[in-house]
Amino acid sequence: MDRGGAQALSRRAEAGVCHALEDTPEWEREAAARTFALVREHIATAPAESGREAKGRVVASLWRLQMIEHFGDSKPGYTAQWDALPEWQQEVDADIYEVVEQG
C-alpha cells in the first residue's frame, strides 16, 4: 500500500471506523467499487481538481450518490452533505481521491 492509502486507513482507524474486509457487507464493498470507478472516470474526463477540499468533495458526492441509491435519503450518517461530514471523513475522502489519482 502506498503512503496515501496508508494515511487514509490510519485516519479511519483513529476514528474507530476501520474493520476487516470480511466484516464489510457486500453492498458496501460494491458501493465502494462503484465509487472508485466513478472517481477514476472523473479524473480521466474532468478538468483537474485543485485543492484537497475539491478532491474530497468529489469522493464524498459520489459516495453519497451510492448511499442514496442503496438507502434512499433515510440514513443521515451515510448521506450527509460535505459540510456536515466530520473533519476526519473529509480528510479521508481527499486521501482517497489522491490515491486514485496517483494510481
Cα-based distances in Å from 97 to 15, 71, 75, 86: 19, 24, 24, 17
pLDDT of residue 10: 46
pLDDT of residue 39: 95
Segments forming the whole domain that contains residue 75: 3-102
To which H or E segment does residue 16 belong? Answer: none
Total of domains in the chain: 1
pLDDT of residue 71: 81
Rg (CA), the chain: 13
Q: What is the pTM of this model?
A: 0.77
Q: What is the DSSP string of 33-97?
A: HHHHHHHHHHHHHSPPP-SHHHHHHHHHHHHHHHHHHHHTT--HHHH--GGGS-HHHHHHHHHHH
pLDDT of residue 48: 87
pLDDT of residue 34: 93
In the 8-state DSSP scheme, what is residue 100?
Answer: H
pLDDT of residue 76: 75
To which H or E segment does residue 13 belong? Answer: helix 3-14
Q: What is the pLDDT along the chain (103 residues), one digit of tens a residue?
A: 344 444 444 444 455 555 566 778 888 889 899 999 999 999 999 988 889 999 999 999 999 999 998 887 767 778 889 999 999 999 999 999 999 999 8
pLDDT of residue 25: 86
